[in-house]
Amino acid sequence: MIRSLAFNVFFYLGTFFAAVLGIVLVPIPTPVLLRGLLHYWARTVVWGMRWIGGMKIEFRGLEHLPSAGPTLLAGKHHSECDGILLAARLPGIAFVAMQELFRYPLIGTILYRLQMIRVDTCGGGKERENLAQFAKRAYDNRRFIAIYPEGNLMAPGERERYRSGIFYLSRDLDLPVTPVATSVGLVWNRRDLWKKPGRAAIEFLPAIETGLDKHAFMRRLEEATESASDRLIAEFSGRPYTPSQLVLRSQGQAGIGAPLTVPRATP
């Protein structure tokens, strides 16, 4: 409890001062300095996670991560720190973020200046066009592009339906997709205030090649990401391997917050 409290103070104060400095940097014509600030802040948070909060995160499968962009990453989304961990590892990364975040004071202005990619999680043809347009700018700048296909923060052992936006990005940009598995939710779960000291991992998986049809691509992506995440959760929790269960958190879907009775099949 004490370590979690100390880390929260460190994290929220540091984030506030970084946001204030970010606003100062927004008018500068180039976003390079602001991207540098994001990278430095993320590295500072990761340092605090390890040495203040007792949360040690391993990066695995780095051999599957291209040395430079443009690159598409599709990750499991357990926690607010998922993006922080990637930003600490990959300078200049562009995230696909919900358009609601762009409406927040300070944060929205900074996200616009960082040229992050905004998306309406409701999807649709028009939204796919917008996603492709904003992603093309990141592609032209040879940036890593990270997207969370579930569109929601999920607790360890849960999964949402995977949105197909990542398939259209891969097709339109002609880029393979590197799945990213995680067990970070074991130490920093979704929006939990209290963090838990312990170990977890982020693992980059072999890329999914281009040229697959939509159904085959989405099946490969979900199976690879969920299986690897379930394996990491079992390893770092000490519990038996258990396939994730579908939990619908999206607005307008029946059964929100209630897992289905049939889990994902064990591979």
Q: Residue 257's pLDDT band (boundaries 50, 70, 90)?
A: very low
The predicted-structure confidence for 154-197, as pLDDT tens digits, reads as follows: 999 999 999 988 999 999 999 999 999 999 999 999 878 899 99
E strand or H helix at 200: strand 198-204
Angle of helix 2-25 versus helix 32-51 axis, rounded to 10: 170
What pLDDT, on the 0 to 100 scale, is given for residue 133? 78
Q: In this structure, is residue 66 part of a structural domain?
A: yes
What pLDDT, on the 0 to 100 scale, is given for residue 45? 97
Q: Which has the closest alpha carbon to 163: 153, 175, 151, 172? A: 151
Query: What tokens does 24 get?
Result: 């100062």
Q: In this structure, is residue 99 part of a structural domain?
A: yes
Q: In this structure, is residue 183 part of a structural domain?
A: yes
Report how far residue 205's alpha carbon sits from residue 127's, in angstroms, rounded to the nearest whole number. 28
Q: In this structure, is residue 214 part of a structural domain?
A: yes
Q: In this structure, is residue 211 part of a structural domain?
A: yes
Report how far residue 49's alpha carbon sits from residue 95's, in angstroms, rounded to the nearest whole number. 21
Range list of H helices, the chain: 2-25, 32-51, 81-89, 107-113, 125-140, 165-173, 214-237
Q: In this structure, is residue 260 part of a structural domain?
A: no
Q: Residue 135's pLDDT band (boundaries 50, 70, 90)?
A: confident
Q: In this structure, is residue 159 part of a structural domain?
A: yes
Q: In this structure, is residue 193 part of a structural domain?
A: yes
Q: Which residue has the tokens 């940009």?
A: 173
CATH number of the domain enclosing 92:
3.40.1130.10
Query: How many CB atoms lie under 10 A from the CB of residue 220?
Result: 15
Full domain range(s) for residue 227? 56-246
Query: What tokens does 62 get?
Result: 């780095």
Total number of domains in the chain: 1
Length of the chain, in residues: 267
